[in-house]
């Protein structure tokens, strides 16, 4: 300890704190605008093949001159194991879902022209009990809200200023009174 202290006094750069190796992630947001102020633009839907990949030829024909395109994850062809147990929507806690979503965006990015916006809808949070989404066995209740925030952050980092992410504004019916007290996802 004495040696380190003497070395630190000789070299003041050693006293500068190092960047932590861990990542703190906290997602709090609350809206100050009424939800009706965010309108979904009338962009064409991206064309998909049956396997969920981007149909580049159809995209070149239908979306070439558009101001932007829309990706609706609620209409995406998710497999049965990637869907939530409570409804037919994707569970974004599943690594397979996030990988497919990122793959689609990576396929889309080279096709976008300068200034073309990307409107992302269908990121609906919900409860699920498939333990394999958490890489566990049996059943484990989980909520994919934080996973949606993490994916939203990745999308903003990857696409830059292009994305307009419109979150689902409907509350979960069974917990509506409790969720009204929490900050909403309007700030996505």
Q: What is the pLDDT of residues 109-160, one digit of tens each?
A: 888 888 888 888 888 877 777 777 767 777 767 777 788 888 888 988 888 8
Q: Is 18 contained in some domain? A: no
Q: Is 77 contained in some domain? A: yes
- At 40, the pLDDT band (50, 70, 90 cuts) reads confident
Check residue 14 and report its DSSP letter. G
Q: Is 35 contained in some domain? A: no
Output the CA–CA distances (angstroms, integers) from residue 52 to 75, 112, 136, 158, in the order listed.
Answer: 10, 18, 26, 20
Domain count, the chain: 1
Place of tokens 């409860």: 127
Domain span at 120: 43-179
Tokens of 123: 């990121």
pLDDT, residue 102, reads 93
Q: Is 12 contained in some domain? A: no
CA distance 96 to 77: 13
Q: Is 73 contained in some domain? A: yes
Q: Is 123 contained in some domain? A: yes
Least confident of 7-21, 36-50, 83-97: 7-21
Q: Is 131 contained in some domain? A: yes
What predicted TM-score, i.e. pTM, was given to this entire model?
A: 0.67
Q: Is 10 contained in some domain? A: no
- At 182, the pLDDT band (50, 70, 90 cuts) reads low
Pairing assessment for the beta strands 127-130 and 139-143 based on DSSP bridges:
antiparallel
């Amino acid at each position: 300890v004495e040696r380190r202290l003497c070395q630190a006094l000789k070299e003041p750069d050693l006293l500068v704190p190092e960047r932590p190796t861990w990542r703190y992630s906290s997602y709090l947001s609350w809206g100050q605008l009424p939800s009706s102020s965010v309108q979904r633009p009338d962009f064409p839907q991206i064309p998909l093949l049956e396997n969920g990949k981007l149909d580049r030829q159809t995209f070149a024909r239908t979306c070439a001159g558009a101001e932007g395109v829309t990706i609706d994850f609620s209409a995406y062809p998710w497999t049965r194991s990637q869907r939530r147990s409570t409804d037919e929507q994707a569970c974004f806690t599943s690594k397979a879902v996030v990988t497919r979503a990122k793959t689609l965006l990576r396929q889309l990015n080279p096709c976008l022209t300068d200034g073309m916006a990307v409107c992302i809808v269908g990121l609906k949070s919900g409860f699920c009990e498939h333990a394999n989404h958490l890489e566990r066995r049996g059943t484990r209740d989980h909520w994919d809200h934080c996973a949606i925030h993490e994916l939203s952050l990745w999308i903003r980092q990857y696409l830059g200023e292009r994305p307009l992410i419109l979150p689902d504004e409907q509350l979960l019916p069974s917990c509506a009174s409790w969720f009204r007290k929490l900050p909403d996802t309007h700030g996505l």
